[in-house]
Amino acid sequence: MDNKNNPLSQEESLLLISQMINKAKNSYHESGIGPMLWGTVITVCSLVTYCQIKFDFRLPFDIWLLTLFAIIPQIILVAREKKKSKVRGYDDLVMDYIWSCFGIGIFLLIFINANIIEALQPVFSHYKELTGQKSMITYRSFSTSFFLLLYGFPTIITGGCRKFKPMLWGGILCWICCVITVFTPNDIDMLLTALSAGAAWLIPGIILYQKNVKGKVTNV
């Protein structure tokens, strides 16, 4: 663009403006590795938990501890992407806040659930005596719904604001599964959690990653 100080016609000006706006819009994007990482971790944790319930075995450790270990590569990934990025969009800060609040919200929910389970344990222990019913409910069978409710929020906002339909539909599926898990037992809850995490993060992450590899950048 060395001779770019030539006089412009009105049509050329408008064309240049729209071309440059499009170039800028298509320039800030995510690699897709973050959504792929979390999609994989949550899907694996849910499926392993499903197998533990279904086939009645216990691992020597809690599989959900994987989520704690996944935080480390996530922090490294975010720092690397920020370092590489030459441009910041208007909604970048909003997205940072939304996903940080989501992460903190998940840990707060785990903390709340742990306390509720402890407080209600006597009720669950004497469920048969109190109600005369044979089957025993557990708080855990409802807690999955709360998690799926939280999963949906940032996913729908991100997918909607950045016009990335796979993530938007994935977020909506989280909310549909949130309603279904109210009525399903623990093992099915875990299958639905795996389905939600796969649809909300793993598949959109793979799509983003492939677009990046092909050089077809997208503004997500």
Partner 1 sequence: MFKELDPILHSQLRLAVMSILISVKEAEFTFLKEKTNATAGNLSVQINKLKEVGYIEVTKQFHNNYPQTICKVSPVGIEAFEMYVKALQEYMNPGRQ
84 binds partner 1 (CB under 8 A): no
11 binds partner 1 (CB under 8 A): yes
Task: Work out the burial of residue 197: count CB atoms within 10 Å of its CB; fewer than 13 is exposed, 13-18 middle, 19 or more buried.
Answer: buried
Q: What is the dihedral of CA 80, 81, 87, 88, to 10 degrees?
A: -110
CB-based contact 34:220 (threshold 8 Å): no
CB-based contact 189:160 (threshold 8 Å): no
80 binds partner 1 (CB under 8 A): no
CA angle (214 as vertex; 208, 218 as ends), nearest 5: 40
Residue that is written with structure tokens 């037992």 in the block: 185
Minimum CB separation of residue 7 from partner 1 in Å reads 7
Largest interatomic CA distance in the chain: 88
Task: Work out the burial of residue 77: count CB atoms within 10 Å of its CB; fewer than 13 is exposed, 13-18 middle, 19 or more buried.
Answer: middle
78 binds partner 1 (CB under 8 A): no
5 binds partner 1 (CB under 8 A): yes
87 binds partner 1 (CB under 8 A): yes
Selected range binding partner 1 among 48-56, 69-77, 81-89, 150-158, rule: CB under 8 A: 81-89
Residue selected from 2, 58, 133, 215 as contacting partner 1 according to rule CB under 8 A? 2
14 binds partner 1 (CB under 8 A): yes
Selected range binding partner 1 among 3-11, 38-46, 127-135, 177-185, rule: CB under 8 A: 3-11
Minimum CB separation of residue 18 from partner 1 in Å reads 8
Site of interaction with partner 1 (CB under 8 A): 1-8, 10-11, 13-14, 16-17, 19-21, 23-25, 27-28, 83, 86-90, 92-93
